[in-house]
Chains A and B, each alone.
Chain A
Amino acid sequence: DTAVSQTPKYLVTQMGNDKSIKCEQNLGHDTMYWYKQDSKKFLKIMFSYNNKELIINETVPNRFSPKSPDKAHLNLHINSLELGDSAVYFCASRLRDLYNSPLHFGNGTRLTVT
């Protein structure tokens, strides 16, 4: 019954590898986001998709490629992983038409690049 679910919860990999994180929401929302949380707990938006269309891209390196097969899913693929990519990645969603509405977050994926 989890509203926003991400997999995997933990991901440990070596530099140079390619990995993906998956996100699904069952709230009927049409807008989904990826946020990155660094070691100081700072949360920064990376991407936003509305109905499978990219609407926000916050100057994230093009090694990061989000993919939205449908409005309930927003996956994040990362190529050529670097040490600095180590962080917790959060997926979130909300209804775009409800402008003043909160984001609902998943429980995060902790990525560790060694």
Chain B
Amino acid sequence: GENVGLHLPTLSVQEGDNSIINCAYSNSASDYFIWYKQESGKGPQFIIDIRSNMDKRQGQRVTVLLNKTVKHLSLQIAATQPGDSAVYFCAENGRGGATNKLIFGTGTLLAVQP
């Protein structure tokens, strides 16, 4: 697929295991964070978000953890499935009034082995 030879940070897990994808963000003023999943040939899809007044949020099979002290975000996927194979991006949205924009981190390629 188009991700072959990409040299992205890669996380390889066995089907059924839990996955943890990490992200460091840059702006301590950022107050809203999102995880996106991008499958081959598609646009980024929203997975889960979290505001800076929270440190944990759970969705269906996914949990996002936010540590503002060290500016770190993680995405946990429970019971990883082959369909979870994709590139995952974290994004931060800083306070900015008119400049309301999402800044994306470097993606992580999740490869699920059957």
Please name all residues of chain B whose beta carbon is closer than 8 Å to the beta carbon of A102 when the two chains form the complex. 34, 46, 49
**Bound complex: CA of A96 vs CA of B101, how far in Å?**
10
Q: Among B13-21, B37-45, B64-72, B77-85, which stretch is in contact with chain A?
A: B37-45
Interface size class of B (residues with CB under 8 A): 20 to 34
Interface size class of A (residues with CB under 8 A): 20 to 34
Please name all residues of chain B whose beta carbon is closer than 8 Å to the beta carbon of A35 when the two chains form the complex. 104
- Contact in complex: A104, B100 (CB < 8 Å): no
B98 interfacial by beta-carbon distance below 8 Å: yes
- Contact in complex: A31, B100 (CB < 8 Å): yes
**Bound complex: CA of A102 vs CA of B8, how far in Å?**
24
B62 interfacial by beta-carbon distance below 8 Å: no
Please name all residues of chain A whose beta carbon is closer than 8 Å to the beta carbon of B107 when the two chains form the complex. 41-42
> Interface code A96-114, partner B: CB below 8 Å = 1, 0 otherwise?
1001101111111000000
Please name all residues of chain A whose beta carbon is closer than 8 Å to the beta carbon of B103 when the two chains form the complex. 45
Residue numbers of B with Cβ under 8 A of A are 6-8, 31-32, 34, 36, 38, 41-46, 49, 51, 87, 89, 93, 98-104, 106-107
Residue numbers of A with Cβ under 8 A of B are 4, 31, 33, 35, 40-45, 48, 55-56, 90, 92, 96, 99-100, 102-108
